Every structure is written in structure tokens, then in C-alpha cells.
Amino acid sequence: MTAATATQSTTATASVPDIHTLSVYVANKPGVLARVAQVFARRGYNIDSLVVSPSKDGAFSRMTIAAQGSAEGLDQIIKQTNKLIDVIHCIEHTDENAVVRELALIKIPVVTAEQRTVALQIAEHFGCKTVDFTRTSMIVMATGASEKIDACLRMYEDFDVIELVRTGKVVMARGGQVT
């Protein structure tokens, strides 16, 4: 490896923004999502994925938000989000302190027996489940870390994916910690 190659490699790695996963526990009321999203927009952050679901009692909802950016900027977003009236708490989670998963439904064409065989082998390798299977297509369900879903999708690229739906990240704190 030349010095120029090493420098380019380091520069490319340094320019990749950090991906942060936030859990925001909020009152289940109209307009709360818009106010939380506005905090990100004012700071110039794009929300990469957003999952919202009601809590066990229905009076509150949990938002799981994935966004890219600097840790310093995100710290300000967390502080500002925690100040919103209907926000109970906003917490950043890492892979070390939380279980983070994603689900993807991938529809691919499988016209020939060879295509079906290869598609099923990829599904088996990644622990996917076949949820629909016809003479011309199949839908596989992949679950796991975002990196696993991305790797699975790369393997299916040769199939000219017909349709793709991803849930975005969901997160739950490990042990006795609060999500």
C-alpha cells in the first residue's frame, strides 16, 4: 500500500458520518411527531429511518429514529427534544447497550429453477424466511442488524429486486435499562 493509498483510505473512512439511534418516548397525541422532526430539520439533520408505535398502555408512543451526523450536533438535538412538552425522554442507544433490529421484505423474480435455487440458498444463508412463493417471484423476509440486511440485499442485486420494504431500526435497551 502506498502512502497516497493509505491517505485516501483514511480520508474516505473519516468522511463517513456516524449513524445514531435514538429512542424518544412521547405522549401519544397529534402533532408530536412533527415537533420532534422539526428539531432535526432545524439542525440540518436528515432522519434516515423512523419507526413509531404505541406503548403497552396506548397513552404513550415510542419513536425510534436513526440519523447521521456528528455526536456534538446530536447531543444538542437530544437536549432540545427532551425540552419539548410532550416528550417524556429522548435517549441515544448503541449496539452495546441495546438490541437493534430491522426487518426487510424483498420481492425478487424467480422464473427458472436455477434462480429459485440460488435465491433460496441466499435466504438460507442469511436466515431469511420465505413468506410468498409463486412461479414467477418470491418474497423473503430478512431480520437482523442493518449491516446484515444490507449484505443480504447486495447478494440479491443480481436478481433485479422487484420491490423492497424496510421497517427501519427498532431498539430495546438491554437488561434493566429504560428504552
Give yes or no: residues 21 and 53 share one domain. yes
DSSP 8-state symbol, 135: S
Separation CA 110–CA 120 (nearest Å): 10
Task: Count the domains in the chain.
Answer: 2
CA proximity to 69, closest of 97, 94, 89, 40: 40
Helix axes 113-125 and 146-156, enclosed angle (nearest 10): 160
**Predicted confidence (pLDDT) per residue in 92-124, tens digit:** 998 788 999 999 999 999 999 999 999 999 999
CB 153 within 8 A of CB 107: no
The Cα–Cα gap between 164 and 18 comes to 24
pLDDT of 34-74, one tens digit each?
Answer: 999 999 999 888 899 999 999 988 899 999 999 988 888 89
Range of the domain at 167: 99-173
Last residue of a domain, one of 38, 71, 93: 93
